[in-house]
């Protein structure tokens, strides 16, 4: 009888040991496939969100520019740029776009133009590298 009990105890211990290596590998593979499927659908949305954030930032900077204009009677020149907004306390610091680059400011014929070159940080591009400018927003309003 004691032989039978020890065999049963060994069987119980064997069943309680846990998962085999193959079972763990199958679980990891399934998790990897799920993560890949989620990643494919989430990453493009992240880039769209960054572009939307840049558009909202540009509108905010335009608002600070209007305050500057009200105080000074003119917009800052291109050389002074957005630093002029910090110097007059219209902004806390020179703003950076969602990709970590400073926004670009130009005074074109007395009118301010604020832009960003997108994810690649260079002029031109498509998709996430698309340039975003206050000119685009003004053209869309017309």
With beta carbons less than 8 A apart as the criterion, state whether 119 and 50 touch. Answer: yes
Q: Compute the distance between CA of residue 101 and CA of residue 98 in angstroms, rounded to an integer.
A: 8
DSSP letter string over 103-133? PEEEEETTEEEEEE--TT-SS--SGGG--EE
What predicted TM-score, i.e. pTM, was given to this entire model? 0.67
Alpha-carbon span 119 to 70, nearest angstrom = 33
pLDDT value for 47: 84
Q: How far apart are CA 113 and CA 31, in angstroms?
A: 47
Q: What local confidence, expressed as pLDDT, does residue 16 receive?
A: 61
| pLDDT tens sequence across 67-82 | 999 998 999 988 888 8
- pLDDT score for 43: 78
Q: Where are the domains of the chain?
A: 50-141
pLDDT score recorded for residue 18: 66
50-141 CATH fold: Glycoprotein, Type 4 Pilin (3.30.700)
Instruction: Report residues of the chain scoring pLDDT below 70.
Output: 1-3, 10-18, 137-142
């Amino acid at each position: 009888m004691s032989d039978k009990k020890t065999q049963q105890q060994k069987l119980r211990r064997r069943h309680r040991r846990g998962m085999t290596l193959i079972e763990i590998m199958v679980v990891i593979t399934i998790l990897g496939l799920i993560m890949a499927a989620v990643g494919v659908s989430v990453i493009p949305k992240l880039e769209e969100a960054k572009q939307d954030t840049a558009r909202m930032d540009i509108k905010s900077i335009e608002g600070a520019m209007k305050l500057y204009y009200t105080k000074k009677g003119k917009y800052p020149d291109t050389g002074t740029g957005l630093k002029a907004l910090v110097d007059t306390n219209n902004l806390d610091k020179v703003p950076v776009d969602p990709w970590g680059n400073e926004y670009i400011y130009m005074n074109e014929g007395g009118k301010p133009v604020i832009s960003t070159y997108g994810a690649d940080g260079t002029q031109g591009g498509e998709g996430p590298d698309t340039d975003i400018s206050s000119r685009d927003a003004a053209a869309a309003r017309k």
